[in-house]
Amino acid sequence: MKPIVYSLLCLGVAWTPLSAAFEWVPCSPAARGLGLIPGPVSGFPSDGFLAPSSLHPSHRLLVEGSTAAPYQVRELQARHWSLAGSFRRVDWAVGMHRFGRNDYTETGLHIAARYPLRTQVHTGLSLHLYQLHITGYGTSFLPALTWGLTSRLSPALRFRVTLENILQRPAATWRVPEHLTACLLVQTPYAVDLALAWDQDPDYPGTLKTGLAARPLPFLYVTTGFTSRPDRVTGGLVFSYHSIRLAYGIDYLPSVNRLTTSVGVVVGWQRR
């Protein structure tokens, strides 16, 4: 099966070297277990790069690190690091992700911020600088922008819309995927959170994402999710203890019988 996975991952490298990269979704393990939907139970700052209006206020300095083993391919590695906090009314995060193997590497540098427009409405913005390095082709850079808006419609219901990787250079020789995502987040009175999202790429059919997070214990979330096109089944665990949050997420692709596992930690440091 490994040659099949390599072919899928390197399709753009073989024929259109700089146009089909960045298919890896650099979300946190918590979001990966929830159908690749960032925000509802995450608490991981890196999810604010994909959905900047989902950043949470924090009186502590948050330090995050995560690692993943994509598709059970030993040569592939994925890492994510970020810092986050709040300054006055602005919640912010900075970080980077790195994905690849010896012959190619995808790297992203990110800055995100969220600001309240009204009591129940928040807007967010994240800036990205992507780098793609392919042995034999060289290195290329591309800046992009992500904008989001979250509105609390009721105490139990939130609506979020995100425009991801917009305003890329028209003359760029390669592009990262652009997405319009609409998401409903539901908090039930039974210690269960639900998430439903529609992710639309302008060049491909849309993707339906669903997620469920149950809280059987005050310090534990159990998550599961599903996405279409491609079909994925996800699951995970999120542990919280004082200012420490641990997450484990899995992402299974039945079409190629491949599993991605990821683990991450967030530590909050009290600022003086």
The pLDDT of residue 167 is 84
According to the model, what pLDDT value does residue 23 have? 59
Question: Check: CATH 2.40.160.40 for 2-270?
Answer: yes
**How many Cβ atoms sit within 10 Å of the Cβ of residue 62?**
21
Q: What is the pTM of this model?
A: 0.86
Q: Is the peptide bond before 216 cis (omega within 30 degrees of 0)?
A: no
Residue 91 tokens, joined: 């919640």
Give residue for tokens 């409405």. 121
Q: Contact 126/53 with Cβ under 8 angstroms?
A: no
Q: How many CB atoms lie within 10 A of CB 252?
A: 15
Instruction: Give me the pLDDT at residue 172, please.
Output: 65
Residue 193: partners with Cβ closer than 8 Å, 6 or more residues away: 40, 41, 185, 186, 187, 212, 213, 215
Q: What is the distance between the alpha carbons of residues 203 and 191, in angstroms, rounded to a whole number?
A: 38
183-193 exposure pattern, b = at least 16 Cβ within 10 A, e = fewer = bebebeeeeeb
Cβ neighbours of residue 242 under 8 Å, at least 6 residues apart? none
Beta strands in the chain (DSSP E): 60-69, 77-87, 90-100, 104-118, 121-134, 138-154, 157-166, 179-187, 192-200, 207-217, 220-227, 232-241, 244-253, 258-270
CB neighbours of 135 closer than 8 A, spacing ≥ 6?
102, 103, 104
Q: What does the pLDDT read at residue 94?
A: 97
How far is residue 181 CA from its own chain's centroid?
12
**In which residue ranges of the chain is pLDDT below 70?**
1-23, 42, 171-173, 271-272
Q: Checking DSSP bridges between strand 157-166 and strand 179-187, what pairing results, if any? A: antiparallel
Q: What pLDDT does 137 receive? A: 85
Q: Quote the pLDDT of residue 158.
A: 96
> How many residues does the structure list for the chain?
272
Q: Which residue has the tokens 């997620």?
A: 211
Looking at residue 1, what is its pLDDT? 37
Q: Which residue has the tokens 């959905």?
A: 51
DSSP state of 257: T
Mapping DSSP to helix (H, G, I), strand (E, B) and coil, where does residue 70 land?
helix
pLDDT at 91: 95
Locate the domains of the chain by residue range: 2-270
